[in-house]
Chain A
């Protein structure tokens, strides 16, 4: 126990740097995944066949083990000279994020009461207005739940990214394993877990903040 504190005490600048690296990797990847996943989720509500196909592909992607995924990225990205480092890791995490974000967006928009859609249309809203004023505000809580899931899941996945040279908190764990140093192993594991838990609560909070007042439990 003492050793652990000593390790953290002397190495905190490194731990902090790795944590930031880790977060940077996850937030950029998931951030871009939101920008693509949400529109894809909305577009596929218009076409059942397309929706089935896209959701199927996204489900297949998420079943690929992360080590295999990172492995796949290396030859692919070597073609553009980015075989290891930030890019293959970011792209893998981006792909993993698609399923929770697309599926939640699709489900949320798809499940909106058809009466609301009819009322909106009948009152003279254009498709865009309906999306902006009614459908997206109502879908936001569910979309955010998908984002939260993607973030938490990928904080874990990003740990593996150390094997393709993307850094992050996986570095400490890797050193712990290769050097049979249980202190490092524990510090790395706890740090990743804490990060995931904090992110989970943070996104839960954001999700609540973004839920329209008329839907949440707390109205006067």
Chain B
């Protein structure tokens, strides 16, 4: 969808060597992907972004959008086809929220009725009540509300591509999380191709399908978050993503991807000897007692049934250390294990039905240096 070829930018400095803000950057972003331009300040990530909508003229190289060479396109027409969101938001204070959202549709002379209707829909998508907000002015809104408008304003003319320059950088951490989630949800539906500048590795890991890491104008690595965390291309990337990169990977893996391949579910009236036999054959240390509706009720360990094996399961049962939802990420799961001082956790689905369990051992082995393909299971 977007392809950069040997994109280069030299800023001329009188009397000095030119500053190279982009040095032969080549990369491609597929349709519907969110690609994060990441790096320390001054690394050229924003310059690279702004060359795409020609806010900064490039020195050399090519930019293709949907196969079309942007050199052949008029800058103003090009910008109207690209959604643009900036950190400072930049809502026009003299216009109502409605007029702000409809700026690009009006520039493109789209049907007014349609664009106003679209403005209502977009407001609803970010959970702002249209009847309240359409006629308000930007300064009546909080920072978080303003940036929501900033984002939907960029979406109003339905551009296939969005450029976002640290869009959530100025928003307080709690609101930022909410807006990030909203945006991810929204884009799952809209499928825009998004280029997103950030200096926050956590944001990049959360938002990106791809992360492009820049240093001094050079694209150091461009890959999936998991690949970058697992296999940093060089020391710079390794240091930039942080010493806790293994822990960051935990956020990328969902609990149900780490679940043990056997459930070890037993019934309250199962005889102990058969349970012991089952555990031995699987080399499992734990079995989970499941009630009649499939709910996890308690657990039993190998040690407890070492000796006498004449009873039934319910006589030896211990209370569960808690449960974790299958769609949570491993970061949450590990955090829960530590707070409950346990090395395993039963996994449940939406209805509370028992799905299997995860252990710290499995999590640790998952974080080995080998990146997994999405959805690949562990055995």
Q: Which chain A residues have a beta carbon within 8 Å of chain B's beta carbons? A: 113, 115-116, 118-126, 129, 133-134, 137-138, 212-215, 219
Q: Are B137 and A219 neighbours in the complex by a CB distance under 8 Å?
A: yes
Q: How far is the CB of B110 from chain A (nearest CB, A)?
A: 13
A113 and B77 contact, CB distance less than 8 A: no
- CB-CB under 8 A from A214, the residues of chain B are 93-96, 137-139
Per-residue A-contact encoding for B41-55, CB less than 8 Å = 1, 0 else: 000000000000101
> Do A122 and B93 form a contact, CB below 8 Å, given A115-B86, A129-B107, A214-B137?
no
Q: Is B254 an interface residue (CB 8 A)?
A: no
In the assembled complex, the Cα of A60 lies from the Cα of B376 at a distance in Å of: 78
Contact present for A123 and B107 (CB under 8 Å): yes
Q: Are A124 and B76 in contact (CB under 8 A)?
A: yes
Once A122-B86, A123-B103 are accepted as A-B contacts, the answer to whether A215 and B76 lie under 8 Å apart by CB is no
Other A-B contacts than A119-B88, A119-B90, A126-B76, 12 sampled, CB-CB below 8 A, are A113-B90, A115-B88, A119-B86, A119-B89, A123-B79, A123-B107, A123-B153, A124-B78, A125-B103, A129-B107, A133-B95, A214-B138
Chain A CB within 8 A of B140 CB: yes
User: Which residues on the A side are within 8 Å of B80 (C-beta)?
Assistant: 123-124
CB <8 Å contact, A116 and B77: no
Q: Which 9 A-B pairs have the closest CB atoms?
A: A119-B90, A115-B88, A214-B137, A124-B80, A212-B94, A124-B79, A122-B84, A115-B90, A137-B94
A123: chain B residues within 8 A (beta carbon):
79-80, 84, 103-104, 107, 153-154
Whether A215 pairs with B84 at a CB distance below 8 angstroms is no
A-B contact count (CB 8 A): 75
Which residue of the partner chain, among B79, B88, B137, contacts A121 with CB atoms under 8 Å? B79
A123–B154 CA distance with the chains assembled, in angstroms: 8
Within 8 A of A (CB), among B79-117: 79-80, 84, 86, 88-96, 103-104, 107
**Smallest CB gap from A115: residue in B:** B88
Interface size class of B (residues with CB under 8 A): 20 to 34
A116 to B150, CA, bound (A): 12
Which residues in B have their C-beta under 8 angstroms from that of A119? 84, 86, 88-92
Q: Report the Cα distance A120→B103, complex, angstroms.
A: 9
Least CB separation from A211: chain B residue: B94
Which of B55, B78, B95, B140 interacts with A118 by CB under 8 Å? B55
Q: Which of B53, B55, B137, B163 contacts A213 (CB 8 A)?
A: B137
Q: Contacting B90 at CB < 8 Å: which of A116, A124, A219?
A: A116
Select A138's contact among B55, B76, B93, B139, beta carbons within 8 Å. B93
Please give, as numbers and ranges, the residues of chain B lying within 8 Å of A213 by CB-CB distance. Answer: 94, 137
Closest to A125 in B: B107
Complex contacts, B138 vs chain A, CB 8 Å: 214
- Smallest beta-carbon distance A81→chain B, Å: 48
Nearest-neighbor residue (CB-CB) of A136 within chain B? B94
| B163 contacts across to A, CB distance below 8 A | 122
Cβ contact within 8 Å between A134 and B76 = no
Task: Tell me the bound Cα distance from A214 to B76 in angstroms.
Answer: 27
**Is the pair B90, A118 in contact by a Cβ cutoff of 8 Å?**
yes
Q: Which residues of A contact B140 (CB under 8 A)?
A: 219
Please report the C-alpha to C-alpha distance between residue A118 and residue B139 in the assembled complex, in whole angstroms. 19
Residues from chain A with Cβ under 8 Å of B104 in the complex: 123-124
Q: How far is the CA of A121 from the CA of B53 in the complex (A)?
A: 10
Within 8 Å by CB of A113, from B53, B78, B88, B95, lies B88
The CA-CA distance from A213 to B55 in the complex, in Å, is 30
Complex Cα distance, B95 from A124, in Å, reads 17
A215 and B53 in contact (CB under 8 A), knowing A115-B86, A119-B84, A122-B79?
no
In the bound complex, how far is the Cα of B106 from the Cα of A129, in angstroms?
11
A103 to chain B minimum Cβ distance, whole angstroms, is: 22
Q: How far is the CB of B300 from chain A (nearest CB, A)?
A: 62
Given known contacts A123-B103, A124-B77, A124-B107, A134 and B137 CB-to-CB distance under 8 angstroms: no
- Shortest Cβ distance from residue B92 to the other chain A in the assembled complex, whole angstroms: 5
Q: A214-B137, A214-B139, A219-B140 are in contact. Are A122 and B88 (CB under 8 A)?
A: no
**Smallest beta-carbon distance B271→chain A, Å:** 72
B93 (CB) vs chain A CBs: closest residue = A214
Query: How far is it, in angstroms, between the C-alpha of A129 and the C-alpha of B163 when the chains are bound?
Result: 22
* Minimum Cβ distance to chain B for residue A83 (Å): 47
Expressed in whole angstroms, the minimum distance between the Cβ of B141 and any Cβ of chain A is 11
Do residues A115 and B103 form an inter-chain contact, with CB atoms below 8 A? no
Closest Cβ of chain A to B29, distance in Å, is 19
Q: Complex Cα distance A214/B107, Å? A: 21
Shortest distance between the CB of B228 and any CB in chain A (Å): 28
Chain B 121-179 residues near chain A, CB threshold 8 A: 136-140, 153-154, 163
Interface residues of B in 256-306 (CB under 8 A from A): none
